[in-house]
Structure 1
Amino acid sequence: MNLADYDVLSFDCYGTLIDWETGMLAVLCAWAGESGLDVADEALLRAYGDHEAQVEADTPDALYSAVLAEAFRRTGDQLGAPVSEQWAQRLGDSVPDWPAFDDSPEALASLARDYKLIIASNVHREGFAGSNKRLGVSFDRIITAEDVGAYKPAPNHFEALFEAVRELGVPRERLLHVAQSLFHDHVPAKRHGLSSVWINRRSSRPGWGATPEPAGEYSYGLEFPDLISFAEVARAAKS
């Protein structure tokens, strides 16, 4: 893959640019401690992840804040510790508090010199507005689940993404998708014939964390352990 062949980069946000697992664990661990549960961080993420994906499939029109709250309730039921409405709301409202990965602002600023940047994320507009303050870059387009009425891996984001690229006057083949989640992003990217790069943020940890195991065929052109490594290669390709 030659990164000079692309002019637009589309990004997943949570897990790729924003450290959603650290953000969620701040709430999940506090709840588990109050509930008397002795559950390791990875086990909490694993229990939560499948519920979030199922809630997104069950209620594609729900705001992401409501998805978080319902997935938390289902996680509590699974673990035998009911989640109060206060705790559910706390997780639902927590998106703006989730930290950016340390390298995200610098990497995005570098990439913005050579590429148009688009967000294609499973989030609501208000939640992403809070996260965008941590990223420090102006995106050329922002596509949220609230905008398209569905959650990845459903096709809605990708259909909206191709339309956005058309509006920007860039050929579809010069779009590259950059994401961490194989389940949410690389499986549907392959299905849509979209080139992609894997930012493998969990490369030093086993398992899938809060992201379900991929449920279909996927592929990616390049793999990087972080965003700054990708940005350095992309910058060199455009030089």
Structure 2
Amino acid sequence: MRLRLSDFDAVTFDVYGTLIDWEPSIIAFLGAWAGRHGVSAPGKDLLMAFDRARADIQKERPAHLYPDILRRCFERVSREFSIAIDVEERERFAATPHAWPAYADSQVGLKALQAKAKVGALSNIDNASLASSCIKLGFSFDVVVTAERVGAYKPDWPHFHTGIADFAALGIPRQRILHIGQSLRADVTPANRLGLPCAWINRPGRLLGLSGEGAAEAKPDLTVSSLVELVAALTGAPADIT
């Protein structure tokens, strides 16, 4: 199946990991925190401990707002590495989404796509954190679906159902929507199960969302390593980030 942007009227994006480069910031925070407590652990081990905790906690209902997800993750990682829970550091970790940077290609890629289609965000985040990220992206989405809005987290389906309904209200049917994400677990697999065409941005060196429940089943219709590559594949004209 060759994906062409002309076959779609809307594209929906996962945000964190796909457009916002959060992993280095998470590793740096947890690495510095562990070091202050005399724990020497590889960054990958800290990141995967966070990912396991995040996947479990996001299944809890009623759903927690994302800052509270981060607090609970911090507490679990603290226990896993036998570090006493430091409330001040836990609160600093809960606020880190406001500082996570955008990938260098995100803004130009999003604007290139928005010139030809509506662009939506389906994000496992709270509204305030996403607002900060949109400032870093320098971009306004046409449709925004957050975990705070739907009271659930992907790979559960409320994000997708709500996004489909929002675009239907704009006259765009579900078969004209393309979903794009970095997470196999939270984006590609549920899109597969819902029958939505999807593209996987497999960012080099990034790990979150590539393992865990359902990840091995993921079958993207297109795999690229950057948003610039995605735009080129969909339109035949690469987005220039220089």
Into which bin does the TM-score normalised by the smaller protein fall? Answer: over 0.9
1:89 aligns with 2:82: no
4+ residue runs of structure 1 moved beyond 6 angstroms? none
Matches within 5 A, 1:167-182: 167-182=169-184
Question: For residues 96 and 40 of structure 2, what CA distance do their matches in structure 1 show?
Answer: 23
Q: State the TM-score, normalized to the length of structure 2.
A: 0.92
Deviates more, 1:145-154 or 1:225-234: 225-234
Amino acid at match of 1:236: G
Query: SS of 1:209's equivalent?
Result: coil
Q: Deviations over 1:1-32 (max 9, x none)?
A: 23121110000000000011122123212211
Report how many aligned residue pairs link the two structures: 234
Structure 2 residue aligned with 1:186 = 188
Structure 2 residue aligned with 1:2 = 3
User: What's the RMSD between the two structures over aligned residues?
Assistant: 1.6
Q: State the TM-score, normalized to the length of structure 1.
A: 0.93
Amino acid at match of 2:219: S
Query: SS of 2:156's equivalent?
Result: coil
Amino acid at match of 2:233: V
Structure 1: runs of 5+ lacking an equivalent:
none
Q: Aligned pair in 2 of structure 1 residues 222, 212: CA closer, same or farther (>3 Å)?
A: closer
Q: Is the 8 A contact 2:180 2:198 kept in 1?
A: yes
Question: For residues 212 and 182 of structure 1, what CA distance do their matches in structure 2 show?
Answer: 5
Query: SS of 2:59's equivalent?
Result: helix
Amino acid at match of 2:202: N
Question: For residues 71 and 31 of structure 2, what CA distance do their matches in structure 1 show?
Answer: 15
1:215 aligns with 2:183: no
Q: 1:103 deviation in Å?
A: 0.9
Q: Is the 8 A contact 1:143 1:161 kept in 2?
A: yes
Q: 1:155 deviation in Å?
A: 1.0
Identity of aligned residues (%): 36
Q: Is the 8 A contact 1:125 1:146 kept in 2?
A: yes
Structure 2 residue aligned with 1:227 = 227
